[in-house]
A and B are shown apart, each in its own frame.
Chain A
Amino acid sequence: MNRLFFQEVKASHLYTALLSVIVSVAFCMPAVANSLDNISNPNLKEFTSNELRRGAPSLYTTSRVLYREAIETLESGDWEKAREKLTLCATISGDYADPMFTLARVELMHAHPDFLYHLIEGIKRTAGNYHRQSLLAINLLFLIVCATTVTLLMAMVILLWKYWRLIEHRINESYSKRFAFPPGRFIGSLIIISLLFMRLGIAIYASLLILSLWPVINKRERTALSFLTVLVIAFSLSAPFSNVLIPAVDEGSITRRFSMMNMSGVDGELYNSIRTIDNRDFIAEKDFALGTLNYRLGRYDMARQALLSSVSRRSDFPQAYLNLGNVYFMQADYNKALAGYQSVIAIDSTSALAHFNIGQAYINKMLFAQSSRALKKASVEGIEKYRAGHPAVMLRDLTVYDEGFPTTELWSIAWRESRGQNDILFDKLLRPYLLIPFGWLGYVLAAALMTAMVLSRKTLALFTAFNCENCGSATCPECSEDTTGLRLCADCSKTIRGLSSVKVMEALLRHRRQKVSGSRSSRKRLKTAFVPGSTWLMSGKTHRGIIAIYVEVSAALSLIWAGMYFPDPRGLPLTDPFFRVIFLISVILVVHLISLRVRPAREQKNFRVLPPDFRIDPVVEKETATERPASVEPKTNDQRFETFLDSL
């Protein structure tokens, strides 16, 4: 039959056929053919062989065992041997990123040039795997949400600390007018302690802080606070969308069960976990999964039925068509197999696997020219890339390649699966601290922000408090005096009361200023050094302060969570103290050390006292205010001084 065949084909076709055979043989060469021989543990070797027999697309467990051994070897100090083991476990699993990162770190520490390649490869593997992607995404998102909320809260607490003198002064003033008991100076602290004792939840505290701070903080601080509040509001209102990431942390989710198909060989547990899916929205996917698992087990009839069912329910499912084609291929029905593959091409013309399998089908149909074209197309579309990423497939020595759920498909399934979920994961996690649903936090904060804006305009006088222009102590319009051209607090006014000499007044005010603000600034610097970012906020560098708080809070949260809030249940526990502890503590310490160097910006202030002739008698001022045209009189101290200097 062979002789007849060769007689029939033309000479040119013969060269093409030979070329095709060479190409296909070259393409089919297992790149990691010797990897299994490098496994020293006979049990593991047998387990791996069984996994391959059961159609494992990835040798995740084998790789994990080897990785564990590599870590133990590394801890024993034999880094060369550990490097060999890490290379082996990285080679036999195409989507396990941890060995690559460890390899990169070990090589970096030993100044090996390959560290960069392994680092990039590790990042690629992380980015290419649905489970890794979603796990990273949910951890990052949760860290950002928590860090932003805590940063907002901390920034407000620090600002409260900064402006506490002003707020307390207003409380004291309002209270002392009505009551003499308990003493007014205790009331502010008493309110704070009582509120803390009541444990009203972060949402209420944040709202109260916004309301109390808004009238006293400056424009820059308002901008920063508004930005953070709007961020938290945005997170809160978009919280339902975060549910798309729940399958990443729910080992019982449909998405996770489907994704497990890409990680191990078929066993009873995996098969049953998919078979028991009863959600009618995912029947096509379930049939596809069952069909693929049956195909991998060699149960082609069951596989065909399931896959046919899948494609009948979902006509735009290229993976189902591909695996159905494979079933027909294995049953030597090459025309139907080709039909299946062509269906894949019709949906996705860039499918390297479909082109490759078409090439294989043509070889079996002895149509070498078509086979050659298909294989070339497969090569162009990246069949080598697929092989490099799926070492287990190469070890199985397959003629045609099947496909599990791709990453994009799993994201789509996760989206659909989470859509019907009424509860929000972040809400469940944060509600014990917020005491209200996370979704409501946005509304509460928005209401607080708007109320603060309105209240601070409408009832400005009630909240107006400012620093004494001499000593910086808190004062308000009711207890301050500005006849001397400076807005002075009661104590400063008392110091110069009854005096007429500018020289004496300035000397007295200078002495008081040095005494009060000198002791205050040294105390403040000492205290603020212990609170992250506070030195920046206290010295008026708001944006830097917020960034410093954010960095420190993020590092502190990561430290508390030992790396990630949602650890990979199938990942090795992070034992390396560098990333888990040392790096995070270093970040906190570095920010603290930088903050110790922060000095408040020196501003030029006018402490000059107006001569008696230029002072305005408040009584006369009040009487003449109605007669005078509006805003002719200089208002600020500097303006008054300019008038005074002009008169000279």
Chain B
Amino acid sequence: MALEGNAKDFGLSEIFQLISIQKKSGMLSIVAEENIAIFFQDGMIMSTRDRRNKSKDPLKDYLLRYGFIDRDEMNNLQQIQSGSNMDLTEILLSEKYFSEDELTAIFAEQIYESIHEVLSCPKSQYKFVIGKNVLSGIKSYASLKVEGVLMESMRRIDEFPEMRRIFPSEDMIFQKNPSSSTDKEPDLSGNEEVIYDLLQHERTLEYLVSHSRMARFCTYESLKRLLETGLLEFREAEKAEPEKIPEKTVKTRKDKRKRFVPTFAIMIILVASFAVGEYLVPWLMPPGWKARTSGTLTASVPETAGLTVNPDELRIRSLKATISQGLDEYYGSMGSYPFTLEVLAIRNFISGPTLELVQQAGIRYRMNDNGGAYSLQ
């Protein structure tokens, strides 16, 4: 049976602790301003990445937001991910974006940030689905104790309003304090050193957050320390005018022209080809050579003696033989030749199409001697 309820009634931190104490495995689904799923294994937090929700990957957002990977690289990674169906972490490791240790640290930091965000939400509902089945297919590179995560998150929740007060705008511009610059390198911790190195030129807070490769809170924290030590100074940014969007009318006209010209050229080529087939090819053919025409019988075929290979003449000779045979059969059957060839067709001694061909070819039939003889011309 699932454990579910409202964070107002039973706080999320208590739920976390309950799961941790009970060493439960399963998925805690939290519906707040943004939905999030937290996966537990034997009471330890192992991931906040819900692979069922493909559109939103907290790790991807984390990597992008804090400059671990730029936008183009992420697009490329997303393409690879959609093309290969591999998990983002697998691709990152395979393609050597990060070593396994680096990824573990990033993964853990991303979990801290996600939990921090969830706990910051005043209103939320939760549902815990118990069972190891829900963990199948979940890739994890960290296993964090709930107590530690809760303590860190609570610290950040407590300190974050103060940070917001010090850094009210993302447009604030930071630079190294020229008066503090000496030949000697300042003694700085890891995160502070990263931020200090980024400030070779003037940088906005937004830039620093998005390029510092650490959580926003950590950046703020480092900046605060650097300011306190006097190594940095800041000022408010000037407001920039919004850029004008260029009109697209010219481009559209160019596009239309681009489409019209090839279409016109293709039409010209096709018409020219047809003209070649219709006029040029027949004109180039030697006399007597002709292309295929319809199968109608030529009415005036000059009769020649002996063997012929003229198809029209052959057809007429064949037609005459057919008529002759039909007439003989009619004579044999009726005792006299018919008055007209139509009688032959009516009596089925020749077929209708044969009679049509006879008329087309201009073959004339005449009965002689009161039906005792006939002539075909």
A positions within 8 Å CB-CB of B: 41, 43-44, 46-48, 61-62, 64-65, 68, 181-183, 186, 190, 193-195, 197-201, 243, 246-247, 249-254, 264, 269, 278-279, 417-418, 421, 423-425, 427-429, 431-433, 435-436, 495, 498-501, 503-504, 507-508, 510-512, 569-570, 573
**Given contacts A183-B262, A190-B266, A500-B96, A43 and B86 within 8 Å (CB-CB):** no
- Cβ of B293 under 8 Å from chain A: yes
- Cβ of B221 under 8 Å from chain A: no
Mask, B317-328, CB within 8 Å of A = 1, is 111111011001
Note all chain A residues with C-beta closer than 8 A to B325: 61, 64, 569-570
B329's partner among A65, A199, A425, A573 (CB-CB below 8 A) is A65
B positions within 8 Å CB-CB of A: 76, 80, 83-86, 90-91, 94-96, 261-262, 265-266, 269-270, 272-274, 276-277, 281, 285, 289-293, 305-311, 314, 317-322, 324-325, 328-329, 331-335, 348-349, 351, 354
**Given contacts A251-B317, A570-B322, A198 and B277 within 8 Å (CB-CB):** yes
Q: Whole-angstrom distance between the alpha carbons of A445 and B305 in the complex? A: 36
Q: Whole-angstrom distance between the alpha carbons of A318 and B59 in the complex? A: 108
Flag if A249 contacts B277 (CB, 8 Å).
no
**Given contacts A253-B306, A504-B94, A507-B85, A61 and B314 within 8 Å (CB-CB):** no
Nearest Cβ in chain A — how far from B95, in angstroms?
5
Flag if B94 contacts A428 (CB, 8 Å).
no
B270's partner among A197, A254, A508 (CB-CB below 8 A) is A197
Flag if A569 contacts B273 (CB, 8 Å).
no
Give the nearest-CB partner of A46 in chain B. Answer: B335
Nearest Cβ in chain A — how far from B293, in angstroms?
7
Nearest Cβ in chain A — how far from B72, in angstroms?
11
A435's partner among B285, B307, B318, B321 (CB-CB below 8 A) is B285
Nearest Cβ in chain B — how far from A343, in angstroms?
31
A500's partner among B76, B95, B281 (CB-CB below 8 A) is B95
Beyond the given A197-B270, A251-B318, could you list 4 further A-B residue pairs with CB under 8 A, ordered by the A residue number? Answer: A250-B308, A250-B317, A254-B307, A278-B305
Note all chain B residues with C-beta closer than 8 A to A569: 318-319, 321-322, 325
Flag if B76 contacts A193 (CB, 8 Å).
no
Flag if B96 contacts A501 (CB, 8 Å).
yes
Question: SS class of chain A's interface: helix, strand, loop or mixed?
Answer: helix
Question: Which of A64, A246, A247, A504 has most chain B Cβ within 10 Å?
Answer: A504
Q: Which 7 interchain pairs have the tightest Cβ spacing?
A: A501-B94, A507-B84, A197-B273, A43-B335, A432-B292, A194-B273, A199-B277
Give the nearest-CB partner of B285 in chain A. Answer: A435
Give the nearest-CB partner of B293 in chain A. Answer: A432
Q: Whole-angstrom distance between the alpha carbons of A428 and B289 in the complex? A: 9
Flag if B262 contacts A61 (CB, 8 Å).
no
Flag if A428 contacts B311 (CB, 8 Å).
yes
Question: Which of A425, A501, A503, A511 has most chain B Cβ within 10 Å?
Answer: A501
Note all chain B residues with C-beta closer than 8 A to A193: 270, 273
Note all chain A residues with C-beta closer than 8 A to B292: 432-433
Flag if B333 contacts A65 (CB, 8 Å).
yes
Q: Whole-angstrom distance between the alpha carbons of A435 and B282 in the complex? A: 9
Listed by A's residue number, 27 A-B pairs whose Cβ atoms lie within 8 Å are A47-B335, A62-B332, A68-B329, A182-B262, A193-B270, A197-B274, A197-B276, A197-B277, A199-B291, A201-B291, A246-B309, A249-B318, A250-B317, A251-B317, A253-B306, A264-B328, A278-B305, A429-B311, A432-B291, A435-B281, A504-B94, A507-B83, A510-B84, A511-B83, A512-B83, A569-B318, A573-B354
Give the nearest-CB partner of A495 in chain B. Answer: B83
A424's partner among B85, B309, B319, B333 (CB-CB below 8 A) is B309
Nearest Cβ in chain A — how far from B149, in angstroms?
31
Q: Whole-angstrom distance between the alpha carbons of A367 and B237 in the complex? A: 147
Note all chain A residues with C-beta closer than 8 A to B314: 249-250, 425
Note all chain B residues with C-beta closer than 8 A to A247: 307
Question: SS class of chain B's interface: helix, strand, loop or mixed?
Answer: helix
Q: Whole-angstrom distance between the alpha carbons of A201 and B321 in the complex? A: 34
Flag if B276 contacts A198 (CB, 8 Å).
yes
Q: Whole-angstrom distance between the alpha carbons of A436 and B305 in the complex? A: 27
Note all chain A residues with C-beta closer than 8 A to B317: 250-252
Flag if A65 contacts B332 (CB, 8 Å).
yes
Give the nearest-CB partner of A497 in chain B. Answer: B76
Q: Whole-angstrom distance between the alpha carbons of A201 and B285 in the complex? A: 12
Question: Which of A195, A417, A499 has most chain B Cβ within 10 Å?
Answer: A499
Note all chain A residues with C-beta closer than 8 A to B281: 198-200, 435
Nearest Cβ in chain A — how far from B144, in angstroms?
28
Note all chain B residues with C-beta closer than 8 A to A195: 273
Nearest Cβ in chain B — how far from A575, in angstroms?
9
Note all chain A residues with C-beta closer than 8 A to B335: 43, 46-47
Q: Whole-angstrom distance between the alpha carbons of A47 and B261 in the complex? A: 79
Q: Whole-angstrom distance between the alpha carbons of A595 and B262 in the complex? A: 40
Note all chain B residues with C-beta closer than 8 A to A197: 270, 273-274, 276-277
Give the nearest-CB partner of B307 in chain A. Answer: A253
Nearest Cβ in chain B — how far from A545, in angstroms?
28
Note all chain A residues with C-beta closer than 8 A to B320: 251
Flag if A252 contacts B80 (CB, 8 Å).
no
Note all chain B residues with C-beta closer than 8 A to A264: 328
Q: Whole-angstrom distance between the alpha carbons of A498 and B308 in the complex? A: 75
Flag if A44 contacts B311 (CB, 8 Å).
no
Flag if A573 contacts B351 (CB, 8 Å).
yes
**Given contacts A197-B277, A250-B307, A503 and B265 within 8 Å (CB-CB):** no
Nearest Cβ in chain A — how far from B286, in angstroms?
10
B265's partner among A48, A181, A278 (CB-CB below 8 A) is A181
Flag if B309 contacts A43 (CB, 8 Å).
no
Nearest Cβ in chain A — how far from B295, in angstroms?
10
Nearest Cβ in chain B — how far from A59, in angstroms?
10
Nearest Cβ in chain A — how far from B273, in angstroms?
4
Note all chain B residues with C-beta closer than 8 A to A500: 94-96
Flag if A61 contacts B328 (CB, 8 Å).
yes
Note all chain A residues with C-beta closer than 8 A to B293: 432
Flag if A435 contacts B333 (CB, 8 Å).
no
**Given contacts A251-B318, A435-B285, A243 and B269 within 8 Å (CB-CB):** no
Give the nearest-CB partner of A269 in chain B. Answer: B324
Note all chain A residues with C-beta closer than 8 A to B290: 431-432
Give the nearest-CB partner of A61 in chain B. Answer: B328
Q: Whole-angstrom distance between the alpha carbons of A433 and B96 in the complex? A: 66
Q: Whole-angstrom distance between the alpha carbons of A67 and B341 in the complex? A: 21
Note all chain A residues with C-beta closer than 8 A to B354: 573
**Given contacts A65-B332, A182-B262, A254-B307, A190 and B269 within 8 Å (CB-CB):** yes
Flag if B309 contacts A498 (CB, 8 Å).
no
Flag if A428 contacts B309 (CB, 8 Å).
yes
Give the nearest-CB partner of A193 in chain B. Answer: B270
Note all chain B residues with C-beta closer than 8 A to A43: 332-335
Note all chain A residues with C-beta closer than 8 A to B265: 181-182
Flag if B307 contacts A417 (CB, 8 Å).
yes
Q: Whole-angstrom distance between the alpha carbons of A393 and B346 in the complex? A: 34
Flag if A246 contacts B307 (CB, 8 Å).
yes
Q: Whole-angstrom distance between the alpha carbons of A569 and B325 in the complex? A: 8
Nearest Cβ in chain B — how far from A163, in angstroms?
23
Q: Whole-angstrom distance between the alpha carbons of A512 and B314 in the complex? A: 62
Flag if B289 contacts A421 (CB, 8 Å).
no
Q: Whole-angstrom distance between the alpha carbons of A594 and B269 in the complex? A: 42
Note all chain B residues with C-beta closer than 8 A to A504: 80, 84, 86, 90-91, 94-95
